Structure 1
Amino acid sequence: MKTSMKFKLSPLAVFVGLALSSSLAYSADAEQDVTAVKKDDKTEKIQVLGSYIKGADTITANPVSVVNADDMKYSGAVDTTDLVNILPINSGAENRPDTFTSFYNQGTSNVNLRGLGLSSTLVLINGKRQVLSGAKAQDGSVFVDTSSIPAIALKRVEVLKEGAAASYGSDAIAGVVNFVTNDTFEGVKIDGAYHTIEGFDQNDKNISILSGMKLSDNTNIVFAASMLRRSNMQGWERPDLVKNAASSLGTGFKLTGDSVVTSGPWAGTYAEGEQVGNPNCAGVNGNILDLDGDGDIDRCGFKYGLHYNIVNEEEREQYYTSLTHFFGNDIKLNVSAFYSDYRIIDNFSVPSLPNLSFPVVSADNSTNPFGVDAIIFGRHNPTVADFSKSRAAPRDNKTFRLETSLSGYLDNGWEWVTSLAYSGNTYKISQPEMSLSRLALAMNGQGGVSGDMTFDHFSTDLNHDPALLDWLETDFKSETTTRLLVWDGVINGELFELDGGTVYGAFGAQYRRESYQVNPAENSTILYNAAGNPLPNDFTFLGSVNNIDESRSAAAIFAEIELPISDDITVNAALRYENLDTDNSLDPKISVLYSATDNLSLRASASTSFREPSLSQFNADVTNTVNLVDYQLNPDGTPVLDSSGNKIPNASSLFIRQTTTGNADLKPEEATNYNVGALWSSDAFQVRLDYWRIDYKDVITIESAQAVLDQDPNGPTIVRQDPNDPSSTLAGISTDYFNAATIDASGIDIETSYRFDLDGSSLELSAGFSRYLSYDVPNADGSTYDAVGKFNFGSFVRSMPEDKGNISAHWLMDNHSVMARVDYVSSYINNRQGDTIDAFTPVELQYRFVTAIQEGEAAFSVGVQNLFDRAAPVVADGANFSYDPKHHDPRGRIFYAKASYTF
């Protein structure tokens, strides 16, 4: 990968871009009739997501789902995260409370269409690309932060449920999500919402304003702003949700020789190699571990989950504005911008993290009661009872976007569109830690500001000097900045006539340039030895990241044609060539629409798509922690086998350091996409049915740390606590990004609605449902593993319930409405424990009343989410929290009230 200079825009470049650019036309609902807007005797047709041809007959040939503003009004949804969560085809996204395993992406949200990965869905705003977030998921996935998009400014969200590289280029493997803003609004709308969890103080307060006005007959301006204030809910308030989040590393030691202690709390006789836990373990609310079954306390564990948050305290402000102007020569100008500032205030962490360097307290240390060297198996301050000692781990997330556009018509009636969008994100992370070097000084009586304080690891009441603890504290800090500049130019119009009708064409080009910078603090930067291997840092538990300053560019040309073969059959074909810094790709797509009757349409499509490795995957080195299950080992490091010859796992899991390095040799991911569907549409009844299949190869992922350990518990990338003892405790592991083998996935989607017109009222019933038929991934031995219906521990595939969907009923009469919706996530197998994770069926109910007040309209809603207070299914995921945040909301019953006033 070539290293480029920092990517900056000069004022001149911005000015020129504003002068030359314009937005692609908005997309429309796949089932919406092609409407027309008259402006100066020109007819502006609507464009559908997935096609650059406006007003095309193949609108229904694209499998597009739409979530519009009404879906927010008639539910408890208040932001884009809530909108995305409604979609059944969104599977495995990180949008729900999970302050523990979402270490690097707190305060963000994302989309995961088809469960194919966060990086495999292309996110657009008004048909244009948006910058990737500086945050990334634990598995290294990069994504667009959808929470940064102001929901008050949205008109609808469109979801294209098939690969679309021929239209949009890289990243559109699983599909495309397009957020369409409301740039024609006139008036003022004020929204407010209040959510609270039953039985707890946690609450969300939202207030938003949308204002639009005509400055003249040809000029319209829109402004929107929103604010969120969210209080926290801590783990100690919901111990049922964090009961599995307990570590064996609390207060414990391993003795290197025989020892007899005649008095004091540690009195007893001990053998060489014996593990010893805090005898006052119950008194400090630790969990007692008897590893060898002899009745002794071998380790005093630590219930760290009680210190973390279930919901973080957060603050968010978002602003949006747009200006639309029609010139007298049929040229339309649109300029829009938004800014989002999202702050995680507390994100509490534990008072101290386990010391993975496993230091030794020497026999002659004044605090050591054993008289022999003792290896520390624990942490320096495992305080449990006093949750005020939990330390904050704040995040700061800022996103901006500036887009401008020009569009008009040529003399032959062809429309031209040119646009420029510049967007950026800065994501700052701060995580509390302890300094290993200072701890080493304190263990030898040289700690504290004065250099004469001693840290006593053998204190059984954990009553450490606060001044010394403060001196030991440090923080991991890093700032990641991403930038994206995109120019698009498209022309489209009529080509010629066939017997079946008019042939339409669209031709265009795109140029984009992105940059990725990581700036860690000095103590948080990975350092390397002469051989290029990472050196240990000054943290007890956390890892480090490397400095990165990389840029790259891509250019593309594309063409699309629509051929009416007959009155009933229309063919659409598209082709895109994309030239990348490290590769290139040529991607075709063909789709066919057959209008069988006035009500029934059949459709089919086939295409190829690809995803270029991210700059992070090419360049980022990071050390973080991972939860693994080690094996019982013989003294020579070979696994202990049971009578069937299988390796015997340890009884408990543990967190260890995982170092992942960027890989400059990564190839682009490639996929072949197929879709066959049917659409029935009448005045009252609509059904959309789609079968999809994706043959996905060279998928980029991080090697599974568990799989690497399973293959060889003492392999070359495995680090043990004692390098001379291959049976010692696991301390670290190295993994790399790599191109995995092919994934073959398929499934069925169905959406249906039926409207009853009753006497003075109406009732609409609707349902959406997605089912995976297969999701075959390769095993290390060459066999195939079907990930459907499994938790998928030890695999790069995320948890994947077989079925997701929802059913809703919406009744309206005059000023009143009642909405009820049942969401459904099917049960799936926890292949880590062999048990079943139960199905989850929360119910939402809302009543809404609308009335006229003076010159405006007021609306009031009251509702409850998870009406029957269904508990999130229990998931035994080692030492993680006790639920699956990728599919289940753990908060319980939530009451809400919403009000709006429009005038």
Structure 2
Amino acid sequence: MCHGAQEIEKISVTGTRIKRSIQADSPSPISSIDAKTLSYIGANDVRDLIETLSFNAGAQNNSDNLTQNFTVGTSNVNLRGLGVSSTLVLLNGRRQVTSAVVTDQGASFVDTASLIPTLAIKRVEILKDGASAIYGSDAVAGVVNFISRDDLIGSELQYEYRNRLSEGSQDETKIDFAYGAEIGNTGHLLFAASYLERTSLVLGEVDWVQPAFSSFGNPGSFVIPSLANGQNPTGLTVADPNCEQNGGVESEGSNGNTFCLFDFAPQITAVPNEDRLQVYMHAKWELNTGIEPWFEAGFADNDISREVSPSFPVLNAPSVLSSHPNNPYDEDIFFRGRPFGVGKPTERNFYEHRTSRVAFGVDGSIGSNKYWQVSYVSAQNDAFLNPRDVLADNFQSALYGFGGVNCDNRADPVAGTGSCLYFNPFSPQDSVNEQLRSYIIGDYIGNVKSTLRVFEGVFAFDELFAIGDDYSALAIGIQYRKESITSVYDSLTQQDRFAFLIGNQNVSGERNVKALFSELRLPLMAKFELGLAIRYEDYGDLGGDTTDPKLSVLWHLSPDLSFRGSYSTSFRAPSVHQLKGVQTNFANITDPRDGSTTFGGNRTVGDASLVPETSEAFNFGISYAFDTLDIDVDYWRFSFEEVLTRESHQAVVNAFPDDPNRVVRTSAGTISIVNTRFINAEAIDTSGVDLTAMYHFDMHFGRVTPQLSASYLLEYDLMDESGTVTDGLGKLNRNTVGNPAPRLKGSMGINWTINGHSANVFFRHVASYENDVSLEKINSFNTIDLQYEMEFNESSILAVSGAITAGVVNITDKAPPFVNIAGSYDPRTGDPRGRRAYLKLKVRF
């Protein structure tokens, strides 16, 4: 602002602590999506928005049984494919608590499904540049800032129904409500609520899923000790003699072993049942003294259930005695399988995620060129985990003939007599087996909690000192954060009593983080601005300390053309979970001894010796805005070192198949648990180009607006802890620290509007890439979305105004590209939901 010019209201823009006149004044690349755009793209929730972002890669938002074990029902953002922990998610510029559950790789993240009802969103600002100097740890790859509405006067009620039009049944009903009102002459109140009811989609309902075989089935296989040899020292594995007769698939393994395979693909849940409630409230007052107190509160509760296999595999290889009445072998053998398999009903697992958040503060001004902010945030996320699994001891007792809830082997010391029953692993349809279900299957119970407390203060000078006809600006601030996790499990889980999920231990830990930061804006010459920011953070004994700078430039060559550039360093300390936590989940494991594959237990232990990951980020961009044409082009590069992740369980098995400290095997030689660690991998180097363009022109039949958004990867190099560099560009990156990295992702769209009518068509594209394990090509994923909307105003017939919207997502019913993994698609890139039609009615009153 030039001295003496008319006062222009300044606003807070994501990526800076210094207020700006317009977002175009930002030297960092920002993408802004307003509420109308959210409606145009047909987004039902935040997950749908994330999926359309060309610069998002590898977010874990498809709730399948394979990649979202305990995080089912959550959603997250993964800017640049640098990991879900590397994107900072804010609500009105302030932090939100991370989810109590972590990804299978041990990464903490903010659950975007718990933030704010859709009708309460004014816009979403996405900073596509490193911002640790401004916001601190977790802003390594960028920032996503959800900004609530502050201009709604009156009420809005919206009903939406979506239905899958492909094979199978899956639908969702959503009701949103928002109310806004003035408080006095200068204040505003917003209240919003949302309820979503979503039914499930199981892959057995789709026609594109391919079999996913486990060598642990029912009918199962048996390890015969008497057939041991040099290649099979614990015994030869043979398929059940009636394998195929009873619905299994017999397969030959290595070294003469045979297996009775079970196809678990039809039981994989691609979309879980969800009942989600969100409530949000924000209030602010502007007092005559220039002081503006504000308050906001939010609550989200999501109840989830999903189908899984009739029972999980039994990894401890229980024994079947020669005395078992159905044992066809003349010796004690080992059972390799699961209690319930072919032809049996699926099991159902239950989860709940509950998030509460309260924030309040005061914004104030001193004169016309100084302002200050003080805020406090208190937030908590609780998760209830209730998968069901085989109780290993009970199943073994049933195989010995002492099964049943009423069996007492002291009163009935003879197996299979009285209330004591035999489980028959040789006949899947034996009626006694089903009687033993409640005895064999138990509840794995976990209650986990994550908390966040943040105090922050900022003081800023809009006009620090004059430089020519302009003024420099300065912001300084402090922040204090307290983060904690608590995990409490039932006694069975703590004792590792389960045959597949194994168990988990109680964990607790906390960390205090102190920060000082400053940002300086220097208009060195007309139309040329230099920005300097620096932040110091101290994590104490759990992460050390760091000082991170950021340098940025903004040069307006003309009113239509500007250049921007930035360089910054970032620092992300290990999460409390990675330092102190214990995580046991299941993973697809191939045993190099015999080539068999199954899901098995993977236990990862926190490591207090982990060091922070560090990174450098560079961005150079050009913006051109002339009349009706807007074009933004950015070249960006990120270089990560000491990347925090979890060891690849498969790499551990391949490297240490006979090390009992890393690969725990049963007496039958089968893998029971793979012990992995949280580690600092070596490096990720990635770069690319972003392009966005929009043009609009008016014709006699309305305004037409073509638009383009695309991200093209130039490199995605991954270095492991041994120093080996892998080119991950255009790869699935299944067994590396990286994420799926298709070279090109983007969308083209056209919007048409006239007199309250609008229509949209979007073509979305994800380029083909390669399965780095099987070396097979993964085809491109191309979908088309259509939408029509009609606004209506209050009239003598209608007492309300509003809009009716109808649309179809993926109108050609494009199936996700086939990937040779369990489930047949890449859940971090493809979308299994198929063609979905929706109808939405909004009324204002």
Q: Which range, TM-score by smaller chain? A: over 0.9
Kindly provide the amino acid, as one letter, of the partner of residue 507 in structure 1.
I
What residue is the counterpart of 1:626 in the other structure?
587
Match of 1:590 among 545, 551, 571: 551
Classify the secondary structure of the residue corresponding to 1:617. Answer: helix
For 2:336 and 2:370, how far apart are their aligned partners in 1? 73
Residue 139 in structure 1 maps to residue 101 in structure 2: no
User: Structure 2 vs 1, CA of residues 369 and 716 (structure 1 numbering), >3 Å: closer, same or farther?
Assistant: closer
Q: What's the C-alpha RMSD, in Å, of the aligned pairs? A: 2.2
Classify the secondary structure of the residue corresponding to 2:290. Answer: coil
Residue 390 in structure 1 maps to residue 359 in structure 2: no
CA-to-aligned-CA distance 1:686-722 (integer Å, 9 cap, x gap): 1111111111111111111222233343245443535
Q: Which runs of 5+ in 1 are unaligned?
A: 1-33, 36-40, 260-270, 528-536, 634-649
CA-to-aligned-CA distance 1:426-448 (integer Å, 9 cap, x gap): 01111111111112222222211
TM-score (norm 2): 0.93
Kindly provide the amino acid, as one letter, of the partner of residue 547 in structure 2.
L
For 1:500 and 1:244, how far apart are their aligned partners in 2? 69
How do residues 334-349 of structure 1 correspond to structure 2 at under 5 angstroms?
Answer: 334-344=294-304, 346-349=305-308
User: Structure 2 vs 1, CA of residues 236 and 415 (structure 1 numbering), >3 Å: closer, same or farther?
Assistant: same
How do residues 835-874 of structure 1 correspond to structure 2 at under 5 angstroms?
Answer: 835-854=776-795, 856-874=800-818
Cα contact 2:807–2:838 (8 A) shared by 1: yes
Residue 280 in structure 1 maps to residue 242 in structure 2: yes
1:242 shift after superposition: 5.3
How do residues 199-238 of structure 1 correspond to structure 2 at under 5 angstroms?
Answer: 199-238=167-206
Kindly provide the amino acid, as one letter, of the partner of residue 672 in structure 2.
A
For 2:689 and 2:148, how far apart are their aligned partners in 1? 30
Classify the secondary structure of the residue corresponding to 2:113. Answer: helix
Cα contact 2:582–2:605 (8 A) shared by 1: yes
Match of 1:831 among 772, 775, 785: 772
CA-to-aligned-CA distance 1:314-341 (integer Å, 9 cap, x gap): 1011111111111121111111111101
Task: After superposing the two structures, state which structure 1 stretch, 619-628 or 506-515, moved more.
Answer: 619-628
Residue 190 in structure 1 maps to residue 161 in structure 2: no
What residue is the counterpart of 2:518 in the other structure?
559
Kindly provide the amino acid, as one letter, of the partner of residue 502 in structure 1.
Y
For 1:688 and 1:745, how far apart are their aligned partners in 2? 20
Residue 602 in structure 1 maps to residue 567 in structure 2: no
Cα contact 2:718–2:737 (8 A) shared by 1: no
Kindly provide the amino acid, as one letter, of the partner of residue 676 in structure 2.
T
Classify the secondary structure of the residue corresponding to 1:50. Answer: coil
For 1:184 and 1:334, how far apart are their aligned partners in 2? 15
Classify the secondary structure of the residue corresponding to 1:470. Answer: helix
CA-to-aligned-CA distance 1:71-104 (integer Å, 9 cap, x gap): 2221321211112222111100011342332101
Task: After superposing the two structures, state which structure 1 stretch, 102-111 or 595-604, moved more.
Answer: 595-604
Residue 379 in structure 1 maps to residue 341 in structure 2: no
For 1:401 and 1:349, how far apart are their aligned partners in 2? 33
Match of 2:454 among 476, 481, 486: 486
Match of 1:302 among 249, 252, 262: 262
Residue 331 in structure 1 maps to residue 299 in structure 2: no
Classify the secondary structure of the residue corresponding to 2:307. Answer: coil
What residue is the counterpart of 2:529 in the other structure?
570
Classify the secondary structure of the residue corresponding to 2:610. Answer: coil
Pairs aligned (count): 816
Residue 676 in structure 1 maps to residue 620 in structure 2: yes
For 2:124 and 2:12, how far apart are their aligned partners in 1? 14
Cα contact 2:682–2:723 (8 A) shared by 1: no
How do residues 11-90 of structure 1 correspond to structure 2 at under 5 angstroms?
Answer: 44-55=9-20, 59-90=25-56
Classify the secondary structure of the residue corresponding to 1:353. Answer: coil
For 1:669 and 1:503, how far apart are their aligned partners in 2? 34
For 1:799 and 1:249, how far apart are their aligned partners in 2? 31
1:796 shift after superposition: 1.9
For 1:342 and 1:65, how far apart are their aligned partners in 2? 29
Cα contact 1:381–1:462 (8 A) shared by 2: no
What residue is the counterpart of 1:759 in the other structure?
700
Classify the secondary structure of the residue corresponding to 1:524. Answer: helix
1:871 shift after superposition: 1.2
User: Structure 2 vs 1, CA of residues 764 and 750 (structure 1 numbering), >3 Å: closer, same or farther?
Assistant: same
Cα contact 2:484–2:511 (8 A) shared by 1: yes
Residue 700 in structure 1 maps to residue 644 in structure 2: yes
User: Structure 2 vs 1, CA of residues 424 and 660 (structure 1 numbering), >3 Å: closer, same or farther?
Assistant: same
Classify the secondary structure of the residue corresponding to 1:257. Answer: helix
Classify the secondary structure of the residue corresponding to 2:397. Answer: helix
How do residues 524-539 of structure 1 correspond to structure 2 at under 5 angstroms?
Answer: 524-525=493-494, 537-539=496-498
1:739 shift after superposition: 1.1
Cα contact 1:500–1:565 (8 A) shared by 2: no
User: Structure 2 vs 1, CA of residues 450 and 613 (structure 1 numbering), >3 Å: closer, same or farther?
Assistant: same
User: Structure 2 vs 1, CA of residues 436 and 628 (structure 1 numbering), >3 Å: closer, same or farther?
Assistant: closer
For 1:193 and 1:800, how far apart are their aligned partners in 2? 34
Cα contact 1:543–1:622 (8 A) shared by 2: no
Residue 784 in structure 1 maps to residue 743 in structure 2: no
Kindly provide the amino acid, as one letter, of the partner of residue 76 in structure 1.
G
1:140 shift after superposition: 0.8
TM-score (norm 1): 0.87
1:390 shift after superposition: 1.5
1:352 shift after superposition: 1.5
CA-to-aligned-CA distance 1:489-517 (integer Å, 9 cap, x gap): 11112101012521111111111111111
Classify the secondary structure of the residue corresponding to 1:61. Answer: coil
What residue is the counterpart of 2:253 in the other structure?
291
For 1:509 and 1:278, how far apart are their aligned partners in 2? 67
Classify the secondary structure of the residue corresponding to 2:25. Answer: helix
For 1:209 and 1:450, how far apart are their aligned partners in 2? 52
Cα contact 1:63–1:161 (8 A) shared by 2: yes
What residue is the counterpart of 1:18 in the other structure?
none
Kindly provide the amino acid, as one letter, of the partner of residue 627 in structure 1.
N
Cα contact 2:507–2:582 (8 A) shared by 1: no
What residue is the counterpart of 2:486 in the other structure?
517
User: Structure 2 vs 1, CA of residues 273 and 83 (structure 1 numbering), >3 Å: closer, same or farther?
Assistant: same
Cα contact 2:315–2:670 (8 A) shared by 1: no
Residue 806 in structure 1 maps to residue 768 in structure 2: no
What residue is the counterpart of 2:410 in the other structure?
none
1:43 shift after superposition: 6.5
Residue 314 in structure 1 maps to residue 270 in structure 2: no
What residue is the counterpart of 1:157 in the other structure?
124
Match of 2:226 among 257, 274, 297: 257
Match of 1:431 among 372, 377, 387: 387
Cα contact 2:118–2:176 (8 A) shared by 1: no
What residue is the counterpart of 1:6 in the other structure?
none
Identity percentage over the alignment? Answer: 32
Cα contact 1:563–1:572 (8 A) shared by 2: yes
For 1:246 and 1:257, how far apart are their aligned partners in 2? 25
How do residues 875-890 of structure 1 correspond to structure 2 at under 5 angstroms?
Answer: 875-877=819-821, 880-890=822-832
Classify the secondary structure of the residue corresponding to 2:716. Answer: strand
User: Structure 2 vs 1, CA of residues 767 and 370 (structure 1 numbering), >3 Å: closer, same or farther?
Assistant: same
Classify the secondary structure of the residue corresponding to 1:394. Answer: strand
Kindly provide the amino acid, as one letter, of the partner of residue 518 in structure 1.
S
CA-to-aligned-CA distance 1:658-690 (integer Å, 9 cap, x gap): 221000111111111111111111221111111
User: Structure 2 vs 1, CA of residues 484 and 718 (structure 1 numbering), >3 Å: closer, same or farther?
Assistant: closer
1:154 shift after superposition: 0.8
What residue is the counterpart of 1:407 in the other structure?
363
For 2:660 and 2:403, how far apart are their aligned partners in 1? 37
